Chains A and B, each alone.
Chain A
Amino acid sequence: DTGVSQDPRHKITKRGQNVTFRCDPISEHNRLYWYRQTLGQGPEFLTYFQNEAQLEKSRLLSDRFSAERPKGSFSTLEIQRTEQGDSAMYLCASSLSETSGTQYFGPGTRLTVL
């Protein structure tokens, strides 16, 4: 296990298209987080899972965003009907629940919406 991985690393799409990103956490980590980061800002929390349960969603996450972690392992983040404002770096992180502040981040998926 080489750490948290994300796929794809880059995605360019046209406005209105749907996109899906995948995150594979560190295998023994039961917590998985999604963040969005735009230029000049720190990561903004989007949602997190404890095993397969989605425990919190940010108000930033509109109805066009959905995340799943069906078997408590990998997770997907889908954005429907993308808008130019969705262009950002999408980060995934994982942790153990006992040490939830100690998060291990993936390399991110950079989304560009044209």
Chain B
Amino acid sequence: AQRVTQPEKLLSVFKGAPVELKCNYSYSGSPELFWYVQYSRQRLQLLLRHISRESIKGFTADLNKGETSFHLKKPFAQEEDSAMYYCAPIPEGYQKVTFGTGTKLQVIP
């Protein structure tokens, strides 16, 4: 069965500390993977996609096909990073995005 898991509901880190938000998926084939973010009182928005291999707001995410993981990382957390983060895979050749349950990142000043 296709499944995406974000094991942490809440992740609290101090400002300046490294951040890693975990995402594991169970999909056949080669899914395309995304991270979406929702800041307080804002709408859900795309943060980054694995195909683009870019860094957005200091965040990067590496697709590890062997471990079927797509963890989101940032070396130094900022207070403005506090938000809900959702991992979202699209199965190969398919159109529907499935969102994980989300991880709330809380950056402590």
Instruction: Give residues in A with beta carbon < 8 Å to B.
Output: 4, 31, 33, 35, 40-45, 48, 55-56, 91, 93, 97, 100-108
Contacts and interface: CB of A to CB of B under 8 A. Distances in A.
Chain B contact residues, majority secondary structure: loop
Interface string B24-63: 0000000010100000000111100100000000000000
Give the residue among B9, B32, B43 with the most A Cβ atoms within 10 A: B43
Interface of B: 9, 32, 34, 43-46, 49, 86, 88, 90, 95-102
| Most chain B beta-carbon contacts within 10 A, residue among A4, A42, A97 | A42
Contacts, number: 51
Given A44-B99, A101-B32, A104-B46, 4 more contacts: A4-B43, A42-B86, A48-B96, A55-B95
B97 A103 contact: yes
Nearest to B33: A101
B43 A107 contact: yes
Contacts of A106: 43
Nearest to B45: A105
B95 A102 contact: no
Contacts of A100: 90, 95, 97
Contact of A48 (B34, B45, B95, B100): B95
19 contacts: A42-B99, A42-B101, A43-B44, A43-B86, A43-B99, A44-B99, A45-B98, A48-B95, A55-B95, A93-B44, A97-B95, A100-B90, A101-B34, A101-B49, A103-B46, A103-B97, A104-B46, A105-B43, A107-B43
